[in-house]
A = this chain, B = another copy of it.
Amino acid sequence: MTATNQQIVLASRPDKEAVAANFRLVSTPVPALADNQVLVRHHFLSLDPYMRGRMNAGKSYAQPQPLDQVMIGGTAGEVVESRHAGFKAGDKVVGMGGWQQYSVVDASQPGTLRKVDTAHIPLSAYLGAVGMPGVTAWYGLVKICTPKEGETIVVSAASGAVGGAVGQLAKVRGCRAVGIAGGPDKCRYVVDELGFDACIDYKAHRDPKALYAALKEATPDGVDGYFENVGGLMLDTVLARMNAFGRVALCGMISGYDGQPIPLTHPQLILQSRLKLEGFIVSEHMGVWPEALKELGTLVATGKLKYRETVAQGIESAPEAFLGLLKGQNFGKQLVKLV
């Protein structure tokens, strides 16, 4: 192989808002393989909000992305050459290949590369509903929100890869599922296609009182579990609507990534309503992945778990697609198609 590998590296850290100039496209030759290495050609790159946190130097919940190195990210692709007995050319695989066309993986390290079955599940789904976003939804809902039949579960960013799965998994468990999303198109999709019971368009309710009123109408029995992908005003508003002993899974607080912390205005509600709030990162709970992936895979294969993808074309489009994701311009799971 003497192919050229186009890559996106982190050129600089964002001052406040992330911008395209923080990224740089570079080309390097694909190296020859050593023993146990596998060369993967990426078909899809996954773009996810957590990457914004990695771009900062400061303390976040994970190591910062090093400068001048390939941006990290989940990838789905095909083995083109293998010097490891467990993989052969043509195998469909999922890994953390990063923002580049090819990756060379040491397949002797457990967990770096996973073969997947694309007979019943599309390859790209392993980056979404049957991948990290799906398991994220599953963990936060099942293990933190602990939904019981008849309860009301609310999720923000409901049309996204994580949020959409949260609501559908809640419906499977006999709950009322209420989404929060931006714009009438996303809300219609959440209700009509994903089967949520209601969806609140936060763009139509910009001030806290209006948002609360809309939430109240959509949750006549209050809120028992909240899956938070957004933070800021959303969290404040939903906390005020929580029933006693409600559970809040904190998965994303995207509105705070740009450096300005957004205060929680009424923390005393946690005491008054005896709430439990818990932050989590799904990669720290690998023990649940098999159980979660089994349910998610079955639901996708049988058409019971639906999702939508926004697909950008070509590695060079990744930075703009990522910045759009941070602004909510994607619709469903944001991918970059590389072949």
Q: Which residues of A contact B (CB under 8 A)?
A: 59-61, 231, 235, 244, 250-253, 256, 261-268, 270-281, 284
Contact = CB atoms under 8 A, between A and B. Distances in A.
Oligomeric state, in number of copies? 2
A255 to B, nearest CB: 9
A268 B284 contact: no
B280 A61 contact: no
Contacts of A279: 270-276
Contacts of A256: 267-268
A273 B281 CA distance: 10
A300 B59 CA distance: 43
A267 B61 contact: no
Nearest to A270: B279
A116 B96 CA distance: 64
A256 B266 CA distance: 9
A91 to B, nearest CB: 34
A129 to B, nearest CB: 22
Contacts of A60: 272
Nearest to A253: B268
Nearest to A267: B264
B274 A275 contact: no
B277 A270 contact: yes
Nearest to A275: B279
